[in-house]
């Protein structure tokens, strides 16, 4: 039999699914409530676990059902160690807060990380992913996960890109949102000027590139340099004016019959190529 975690009483104290607190939590699924409160919603055990472990100072409240608190006792233990508020609610309350949460929900303060914070870090960044006008939350979240896995120092969402605190972005990132800085909503040209000023080469990934990744001018020596990779909108890629801001435009070779690669796959190939070259 699974043992109940020691610590807080697991008797539900939130029992009214129509309570004002429940409505406030549920409202954070919308951008207007996030903007007004400066907080956002994190749903599900994986994302909440990473938030509690890697961003505990940003966690305002943690909500679990009794069953979830038992099943995911490590989340409760980490929350206790960080002296976070742990609230036990009925399944109906947690369902009203989020139907996708598997009985685990957290409310976090938005980080408000700036590009100056990233560029002013004690260790200068060597690998950054920039997303320009990437609007699909699933794509953005998966790309953030890719950047985390490749050891990138930050992600920049520029132009009309999706809000990184969108619940679908948070879920798709699988907790990576709490592992590295994510800078939001800078104009692309301003972001690239700042990145270039910090010594990073600006490399756009686009099918129009005259150099193929890993060959000739885009070979290992090139990839080993501090780099900001720029990826465009899912439907139309990077515009001509955006491409003109890059030091180099690199294409990915297609050896089979596929027309193209999706955003996350292209980002994986590019970032891992740079990560491997930088570690040699």
Q: What is the pLDDT of residues 106-135, one digit of tens each?
A: 999 998 789 999 999 999 999 999 999 999
Query: What's the pLDDT at 55?
Result: 96
pLDDT at 37 over 80: yes
- Going along the chain from its start, the domains and CATH numbers come out as 20-109 (3.30.1330.30), 115-278 (3.40.1280.10)
Query: What's the pLDDT at 1?
Result: 41
Residue 141: band (very low, low, confident or very high) from pLDDT cuts 50, 70, 90: very high
* 138-162 mean pLDDT: 96
Place of tokens 């009794």: 66
Query: What's the pLDDT at 259?
Result: 85
Query: What's the pLDDT at 8?
Result: 59
Q: What is the pLDDT of residues 55-108, one digit of tens each?
A: 999 999 999 999 999 999 999 999 999 999 999 999 999 999 999 899 999 999
Query: What's the pLDDT at 7?
Result: 56
Question: How far is 204 from 90, CA to CA, in rounded Å?
Answer: 49
Report DSSP letters for the chain, one per residue: -PPPPSSS--S-SB--TTSHHHHHHHHTTSHHHHHHHSEEEEESHHHHHHHHHH-GGGEEEEEEEHHHHHHTHHHHHHHHHTT--EEEE-HHHHHHH-TTSTTEEEEEE-----HHHHHTSSS---EEEEEES---HHHHHHHHHHHHHTT-SEEEEETTPPPTTSHHHHHHTTTGGGTS-EEEEE-HHHHHHHHHHTTPEEEEE-TT-SEETTSGGGSHHHHTS-EEEEE-BTTTB--HHHHTT-SEEEEPP--SS-S---HHHHHHHHHHHHHHHHT-
pLDDT at 233 over 50: yes
Q: What is the pLDDT of residues 183-224, one digit of tens each?
A: 986 899 999 999 999 999 999 999 888 888 977 776 788 999
pLDDT at 144 over 50: yes
Report DSSP letters for 190-239, one per residue: HHHHHHHHTTPEEEEE-TT-SEETTSGGGSHHHHTS-EEEEE-BTTTB--
Mean pLDDT of the chain: 92
Query: What's the pLDDT at 211?
Result: 85
């Amino acid at each position: 039999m699974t043992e109940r975690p020691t610590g807080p009483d697991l008797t539900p104290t939130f029992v009214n699914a129509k309570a004002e607190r429940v409505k406030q939590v549920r409202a954070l699924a919308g951008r207007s409530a996030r903007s007004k409160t400066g907080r956002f919603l994190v749903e599900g055990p994986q994302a909440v676990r990473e938030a509690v472990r890697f961003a505990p100072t940003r966690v305002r409240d943690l909500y679990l059902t009794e069953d979830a608190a038992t099943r995911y006792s490590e989340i409760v233990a980490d929350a206790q160690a960080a002296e976070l508020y742990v609230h036990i609610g009925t399944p109906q309350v947690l369902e009203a807060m989020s139907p996708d949460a598997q009985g685990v929900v957290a409310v976090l303060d938005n980080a408000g990380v700036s590009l100056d914070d990233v560029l002013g870090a004690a260790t200068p960044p060597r690998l950054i992913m920039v997303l320009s006008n990437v609007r699909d939350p699933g794509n953005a979240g998966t790309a953030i996960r890719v950047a985390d896995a490749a050891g990138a120092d930050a992600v920049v969402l520029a132009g009309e890109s999706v809000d990184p605190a969108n619940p679908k972005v948070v879920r798709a990132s699988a907790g990576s949102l709490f592992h590295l800085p994510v800078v939001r909503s800078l104009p692309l040209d301003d972001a690239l000027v700042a990145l270039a000023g910090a010594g990073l080469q600006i490399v756009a990934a686009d099918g129009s590139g005259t150099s193929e990744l890993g060959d000739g001018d885009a070979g290992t020596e090139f990839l080993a340099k501090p780099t900001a990779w720029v990826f465009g909108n899912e439907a139309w890629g990077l515009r001509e004016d955006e491409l003109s801001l890059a030091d180099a435009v690199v294409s990915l070779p297609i050896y089979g019959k596929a027309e193209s690669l999706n955003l996350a796959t292209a980002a994986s190939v590019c970032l891992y190529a740079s990560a491997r070259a930088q570690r040699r």
